[in-house]
Structure 1
Amino acid sequence: MFIETETTPNPATLKFLPGQAVYPAGTRDFATPEDAEASPLAQALFDTGEVTGVFFGRDFVSVTAAPGANWGMLKPQVVSILLDHFISQAPLFAGGDAGAFNVPAEDDDLVGDDDPADADIVAQIKDLIETRVRPAVANDGGDIRYRGFRDGVVYLAMQGACSGCPSSSATLKQGIEGLLRHYVPEVSEVRAA
């Protein structure tokens, strides 16, 4: 088995591609060691002591190194952990069932409830995020989650390599905001949530 690595726009994060499905059910973000307790793989990566974030995508794992960590030393450890996991075909989650854990749904943690009168606008926003934004963000080792729409403002949360990335605010403001404003005139602004 060979695991490819790719750099991401976030210099603290590398994207690891094992050449097989990782989490076909969507994405899962582990921002703390406590979050990682649900997954033996995520926990093993945090246990290196040099990892501050793990993100499972459909066919990749993004790993964020702690400030000051040396990727030259950490990368072989991460590859070894990933190889051990995928070669042994160990379950991704403790008990083998991701559904047994509190995996946030797309609409969990909304920035308030969307106004039912905005249902068509919200549907357009979600469709654009799903078809145009999410694939590009996944290429960079992350994901984007819809968090709400209120008074012309779309609230989005960046995950994985995109969370904390130096260019994430530019991506939100210049890229995603421009796209949404072009296709959905009711959108006036995009903010991180």
Structure 2
Amino acid sequence: MHIQTQTTPNPATLMFRPGRSVSPEGTHDFDTPEAAEASPLASALFALGDVTGVFYGEDFVSVTKDPSGGDWSALKPDVMSLIVDHFASGAPLFFAGAPDTAPQIDENEEDADIRRQITELLDDRVRPAVAGDGGDIVFHGFKEGVVYLRMQGACAGCPSSTATLKNGIENLLRYYVPEVEEVRAV
């Protein structure tokens, strides 16, 4: 198996592309070793010590390292080896019964059409671009003019994520959905 690596706008995160499907049913973000216990691969990556985040996209794994841990030269071969070993073994990506712990915002039914418009814009215009940078953006709700989003993967903690959220996504949503007044990260 040949794994391609790709830099991201977040210098602490690299994308690893194993040339096969990783998580076709949706993205998954692990930002602590405890959260990674749902996945054998994520657990193994966190066990390397310098890993602070693992993110599964449709066809990639993004790994975030501790910024104070030096450059990628020492960690990258270990990450690649774990990814190759995992996929070569045929092991599942998740342990059976792994919970989904995504927080949701309490919403009222009157805003259902607005939420639909927001999710369509995010799915069609935002998520493909964010995935190209090794991350994802997840809609968590709309309440009283505020859209709640969570940046994941390379986008979480990226120096430009605040600008992306406020200048890019907020402006796009406000333009197409007048009820949107603000975008906030969760």
TM-score normalized by structure 1? Answer: 0.92
Shift of 1:152: 1.4
Displacement of 1:59: 0.6
State the secondary structure of the residue aligned to 1:58: coil
Which residue number corresponds to residue 81 of structure 1?
82
- Residue 98 (structure 2) aligned to one of 96, 101, 111: 101
- Sequence identity of aligned pairs in percent? 63
SS of the aligned residue for 1:23 comes to coil
Residue of 116, 119, 122 corresponding to 1:129: 122
Query: Over the residues paired in the alignment, what is the CA RMSD in angstroms?
Result: 1.2
What aligned pairs does 1:36-75 form with structure 2 within 5 A after superposition? 36-69=36-69, 70-75=71-76
- Conserved? CA contact 1:148–1:154, under 8 Å: yes
Q: Please say if residues 41 and 82 of structure 1, whose CA atoms lie closer than 8 Å, have aligned partners that are also in contact.
A: yes
Equivalent AA in structure 1 for residue 103 of structure 2: D
Q: Write the distance in 1 (CA, Å) between the matches of 2:18 and 2:49.
A: 22
Q: CA deviation at 1:92?
A: 1.2
Match of 1:20 in 2: 20
1: CA distance, partners of 2:160 / 2:179: 25
The amino acid that maps onto 2:93 is L
Aligned length: 185
2:154 to 161, 165, 170: 161
Contact 1:155–1:191 (Cα < 8 Å) also in 2: yes
Indicate which of 104, 112, 115 corresponds to 1:110. Answer: 104
The amino acid that maps onto 1:102 is P
Secondary structure at 1:103 match in 2: coil
AA in 2 matched with 1:191 = R
2:17 partner amino acid: L
Q: Deviations over 1:119-148 (max 9, x none)?
A: 111110011111111111111111111122
> 1:65-96: CA deviations, max 9, x gaps?
012222011111111111111122222123xx
Rounded Cα–Cα distance in structure 2 between residues aligned with 1:9 and 1:92: 26
1:186 is matched with which residue? 179
Kindly state the Cα deviation for residue 116 of structure 1 after the two structures are TM-superposed: 1.4
Higher mean C-alpha displacement, 67-76 vs 13-22: 67-76
Which whole-Å CA distance do the structure 2 matches of 1:136 and 1:101 have between them?
28
- In structure 1, stretches of 5+ residues that fail to align are none
Taking the aligned partners of 1:11 and 1:67, their CA distance within structure 2 comes to: 8
**Separation (CA, whole Å) in 1 of partners of 2:54 and 2:66:** 11
Deviation at 1:103, TM superposition (A): 2.0
Moved over 3 A (4+): none
Deviation at 1:18, TM superposition (A): 0.3
What letter matches 2:42 in structure 1? Answer: A
Under a length normalisation based on structure 2, what TM-score does the superposition of the two structures give?
0.95
Tell me the amino acid that sits aligned with residue 181 of structure 2: S
